[in-house]
Amino acid sequence: MDIAKQFSLEGKIALITGASHGIGMAIANAFASAGATICFNCSSESSKARAIEAYKANGVDAHGYVCDVCDEEAVKALVAQIKEEVGVIDILVNNAGIIKRIPMLDMSAEDFRKVIDVDLNAPFIVSKAVIPGMIEKGHGKIINICSMMSELGRETVSAYAAAKGGLKMLTRNICSEYGEYNIQCNGIGPGYIATSQTAPLRERQPDGSRHPFDQFIVSKTPAARWGEAEDLMGPAVFLASDASNFVNGHILYVDGGILAYIGKQPQ
């Protein structure tokens, strides 16, 4: 067996939602390096243009589309357009997501529904749109970007944790319903990742000390650091490739060991 070939994505067409920056873009670049053709969606023409330039700078000829992944009819049209312009989707990464850090008693039902809509309903909608093509092709890979909040609760993230817990179970249910069609649906649960969104939480304080939240995360992580978007590349390629053909309904936590660790005993 050629093990390198098992990890190749040569000839595959991948759709990564919300991959105009951050984790989604890192995963898309990894897929491109493994040979896949990249398609992504974003929310505006301006963000699409910026993303395409960023992909080009990395030598990736990505196909960008503007689409609201919460709009079922728009998603159907997107998948049909990709089929016509690029081909039938082999790999889907449900990466698009939002978080609203609001204490539960202060959170409106409208805000709660919005998080659920983007983080849980949208993966259902996009998966539902691509699965028929995967069945027709005889294979498919769906990767849902879950979270440690698929397993843990934390103050101010009730909607996000509810959505990501639901996404974990949607992952297992897609596996259960469509595994017989050679479709593997798995999840990646990132730990705390160093991105532009988390940069304020990692800024040094005026006295040179770490931000309190930065101290908290590093102390709770056996790896003693924040993750980088690049840390998700290998796991994503594995779950998108033939190397994971008998891995289904699994959530791979890429968290530096947080979920395995109770923390250090106070001195």
Q: Which residues are catalytic?
A: 160
Contact, 265 vs 192, CB < 8 A? no
60: helix, strand or coil? coil
39: left (phi over 0), alpha (psi -120 to 50) or beta: beta
Q: How far apart are the C-alpha atoms of 240 and 162, rounded to whole Å?
A: 26
What six digits make up the tokens of 10? 């040569």
What six digits make up the tokens of 21? 């920056």
Q: How far apart are the C-alpha atoms of 29 and 110, rounded to whole Å?
A: 35
Q: How far apart are the C-alpha atoms of 250 and 186, rounded to whole Å?
A: 5
How far from 228 is each of 27, 133, 191, CA to CA, in Å? 12, 33, 9
b/e 136-148 (16+ beta carbons within 10 angstroms → b): ebeebbbbbbbbb
87: left (phi over 0), alpha (psi -120 to 50) or beta: left
Cα 9 → chain centroid: 18
Q: CA 114, 120, 122, 124 torsion: positive or negative? A: negative
